[in-house]
Structure 1
Amino acid sequence: MLPAFVDAHVHLDKAYLLEPIANELAAEGAKLTADLGDAIATVARLRPRLGPEVVAAGAQRAVDTLVRNGTVAARAMVEIDPAVGLGLMDLHADLAARNAGRIGLQLVAFPQRGLELDGMRELMKGAMAAGADVVGGCPYVDDDPGAHLDFVFDLAEAYGAPVDLHLDFSDDPEASLIDLVAERTRAAGMQGRVAIGHVTTLAAMAPDRADRAFAAMAEAGIALAVMPATDVYLTGHPREASGWHATRPVAPLLRAARAGVTVAITNNNLCNPFAPYGNGSQLQAAWLAGLLFRAVAAADRATLIDAITVNPAQILGLPEHGPTPGARADLVVLEAANQDEALLQCSKVAAVVRAGVRIE
């Protein structure tokens, strides 16, 4: 028995869109590619053609999958975009209400295509006014990432909300924005209320530079969300001009944890152009991270378990939960003798309990 899983970063409004998007592309004589820019552009272009019922069905299926795999709370990235306005905020509000007894959803106003599109800043303000819990950001897609960050932190301050950023999704250390985020976090007095996701540049940095980045994050109280399935799938494309073939970077979460950074392992995407193989199991995501980072020490495997239980709960600001006297009874029961065996074998979920009530 473990504390139930908490997912600090998941995209419900993109879940299970792989087949409908592939069908739309096939009709155009095109096909999917494992490229971040193409995935963003393809989903943005085709989303209006999919219909709200398709997106809603995928989001509900994702919730069912998460709960079945032991997740009882999640931070959901709600895409805010001129193509759909605030329609996906309404979808998530309905989703959260219908599933309130099974999973707690914390909603992030997320500008997937940046803030430089016409009307985006007003839409972001509208999303927060409509009840979004967290201000999201994606500064690497804008020409002026600093201005993007300034707006996000100002909006968060106006609403007293946390910040959650997609950051540094590349293998170029020179593109890193970690220092800018740390500066703004300290200036705004938001230590402990900022999370950054992906951050694959950390895997490409020289060790001393990565150590400085970890120290800056720890000092500013910036949490790190790592998405093994998505990041392995989308990163590491060859640079044709130079002939240099990149590695497959995933942010080194064990090193980050040892440096004092709060780390979480997340699903991010489920069965879509960003991660065709996503299946909603945070335990399997932790298992994959264990392989990637050679987690042979018991302490390292304990870190992986913390990264899908207590750490993401802390990032979401949730009360203590788990099989501890006085804690909230959010629990997952696994077919294993102990947590080490559960992780090593990616054991089957036998039962899920939320607030003392068995829900699976």
Structure 2
Amino acid sequence: MRDNQEDLHLFNVRLPQDSIGQLFSITIKNGVYETIQKQTDSAMLHGAKISKLSISDLTEQNVIDVEGRYLLPSFIDIHTHLDKAFSLTSVPNRSGTLQEAIRNYSEKAVSFSEHEIKERVRKAALQSLSYGTTHIRTHVNFELDINENLSLSHLQAVLEVREEVRSNMSIQVVPMFSYLSSRPKKQMEVIEEALSYGVDGIGGAPHLSPTSKEDIDFIFQLAEKFGKFIDLHVDEQDDPTICTIEHIIQKTKEYNYQGKVVAGHLCSLSAMDEKRAATIIEEMAGTKIGAVTLPGANMYLQGRDDRGIIRRGITRVKEFLNSGVEIATASDNVNDPFHPFGRCDLLQIGLLTAYTAHLGSESELQHLIKMMTETPAGFYGLKNHRVEEKVNASFVLLEGRDIYQLFANLSPSRFVYHKGRWVSGTTSETQFLMSEKAVGVGGREDGI
């Protein structure tokens, strides 16, 4: 096997921020980008072609021709629900509404064993890795109203899988706490016990509570007490009068929590009038509250009561971009009652984001790539998650001759490098599915 201390040389590499047709040679030493250089037409480089290599073959090679593939920083999926993934067969949603999804999942939660939760988390995490995601932030249901022990055991199951996969990928765990202002002392003790388990942040969906302001107050108190960041589901509604983000902005200022708060969804922002929305976006920029758009689930769940022209449901992506608010895109739910589709592929989510937010120019698509890499990396607490000399190398190789083809074809092959080694490699799905190994263990649902 190739020594990890030996240099890794990649050539015929494309980088999205550079002009079409330009190829690069990259040298990696000890898991760090040593050199990134433009190739000239006269460059005569020879090495193993990546299309001919399996993941086991890759570890034996130190000079690799990537055949014009794009090299992107590995994906950061900053808003997921690994514990719910692939639960649709157990928890159907006949109406397709958010309300039924919440109700049905909560009613069924008591029947889910720790083993089942672990299987879902593991499957979704490994499938995400196979598509190029090396860091995931997962929100975890905390079913305190059903059973205190159940809440803790399901959370513990997620944390155990986090440790299982640590050598290949990183998972941040954010339990979702609800109705904090009305909890009795005993239940608050359970919540504080959960926060002592090694979770990374505090989550919730305060807009669903009749006492949303008081609940938000408690969330900030807990975050300060335990030294956690805050990542909330915010205003996932069509109703423009539902606007908890304003109180979140206020508390962020009071607690000096700038740069430590992330707001996902923000659907009602698109339903309200332009002036009010612009004011909120400007205040979010001033308080450095990060935003996350979830196009898959939001398009599916929102606008259910609309007639005629049906709203897309997503937040004001372009307005955030133009106002200097850091905004990421993420996969949210996969194959569960909240979103029956998806495949843990952030490039697919990027395509949905491009459609719904009208991001189509070359510069907009380059920024869209940042919404899946550099921007969520900042929310995650990662520094220098980009392709640059003297920076840790964590990347995914994808097929595509230009940036439009990158999103149009969704690259059936992916090769993922992280922590100084190759952690995943998949060839063309078309070629793979013609073989007898169409179903595998771990990795993607299709066996890849």
TM-score (norm 1): 0.92
**Over aligned residue pairs, what C-alpha RMSD do you find?**
1.7
- Alpha-carbon deviation of 1:67? 0.3
Q: Which amino acid aligns with 1:234?
A: L
For 1:1-360, list aligned pairs within 5 A: 1-22=71-92, 32-82=94-144, 83=147, 84-111=150-177, 113-115=178-180, 116=182, 120-238=187-305, 247-360=311-424
**SS at structure 2 position matched to 1:359:** strand
Assess, with a 3 A threshold, how the Cα gap between structure 1 residues 44 and 60 changes in structure 2: closer, same or farther: same
Q: Deviations over 1:264-290 (max 9, x none)?
A: 110111100001002111111010111
The unaligned stretches of length 5 or more in structure 2 are 1-70, 425-448
Decide whether the 8 Å contact of 2:132 with 2:414 is kept in 1: no
- Alpha-carbon deviation of 1:21? 2.2
**SS at structure 1 position matched to 2:78:** strand
Q: Which amino acid aligns with 1:72?
A: T
Distance across 2 between alignment mates of 1:104 and 1:5:
11
- Alpha-carbon deviation of 1:145? 0.4
Corresponding pairs, count: 348
Aligned counterpart, 1:26: none
**SS at structure 1 position matched to 2:203:** strand
- Alpha-carbon deviation of 1:222? 0.4
The unaligned stretches of length 5 or more in structure 1 are 23-30
- Name the structure where helix makes up a greater proportion of residues: 1
Decide whether the 8 Å contact of 1:168 with 1:176 is kept in 2: yes
- Alpha-carbon deviation of 1:329? 1.1
Assess, with a 3 A threshold, how the Cα gap between structure 1 residues 38 and 318 changes in structure 2: closer, same or farther: same
Decide whether the 8 Å contact of 2:362 with 2:403 is kept in 1: no
Assess, with a 3 A threshold, how the Cα gap between structure 1 residues 349 and 308 changes in structure 2: closer, same or farther: farther
Distance across 1 between alignment mates of 2:262 and 2:380:
10
Assess, with a 3 A threshold, how the Cα gap between structure 1 residues 310 and 279 changes in structure 2: closer, same or farther: same
**SS at structure 1 position matched to 2:90:** helix
TM-score (norm 2): 0.74
Distance across 2 between alignment mates of 1:356 and 1:321:
14
Identical aligned pairs, as a percentage? 26
- Alpha-carbon deviation of 1:117? 5.6
Q: Deviations over 1:323-350 (max 9, x none)?
A: 2112221101001134443124322342
Distance across 2 between alignment mates of 1:244 and 1:122:
49
Distance across 1 between alignment mates of 2:223 and 2:284:
19
Aligned counterpart, 2:18: none
Decide whether the 8 Å contact of 2:117 with 2:154 is kept in 1: no
Assess, with a 3 A threshold, how the Cα gap between structure 1 residues 255 and 345 changes in structure 2: closer, same or farther: farther
Q: Which amino acid aligns with 2:156?
A: D
- Alpha-carbon deviation of 1:295? 1.3
Moved more, 120-129 or 307-316: 120-129
- Alpha-carbon deviation of 1:232? 0.5
Decide whether the 8 Å contact of 2:168 with 2:419 is kept in 1: no
- Alpha-carbon deviation of 1:93? 1.5
Q: Which amino acid aligns with 1:221?
A: K
Q: Which amino acid aligns with 1:181?
A: I
